[in-house]
Amino acid sequence: MQATNNTDLQGCLSIQPRKPYRPVSKIAQELINELLTLVNEDTNKAIAIIKEIMYYSPNQSLEWYCEQAIRQLHRKSYSTPNFVIDSKTLTLAK
């Protein structure tokens, strides 16, 4: 199933304005796999993040878009607290 998700994501990300189609590089494939891992294999979420980045920064490489998405997800995960307040105690979130 993951191969299908990767293919869908690659197809979406390969559509870049004003640039000819290029096959996905090995580095881009690794970045896509890392991105999918960070979003729990949710291809739609990964595509939405990439599309938002493409909107604000057009004409970049696939690798660049993936790196920015990964950075964005890492920043977001560090900005959220890792604890939950539950009946007057602090417990670590799983």
What are the mean pLDDT values of the chain's consecutive 10-residue runs (94 residues total)?
61 58 84 94 93 94 94 81 54 50
Task: Please report the pLDDT score of residue 23 as a whole number.
Answer: 76
Q: Where are the domains of the chain?
A: 2-92
Whole-number Å distance between alpha carbons of 55 and 50: 9
Which ranges of the chain would DSSP assign to H, the alpha helix? Answer: 2-13, 26-38, 43-56, 62-79
Task: Please report the pLDDT score of residue 15 as a whole number.
Answer: 55
Q: How far is CA 20 from CA 30, 38, 50, 72, in A?
A: 21, 29, 19, 27
Task: Please report the pLDDT score of residue 56 as a whole number.
Answer: 94
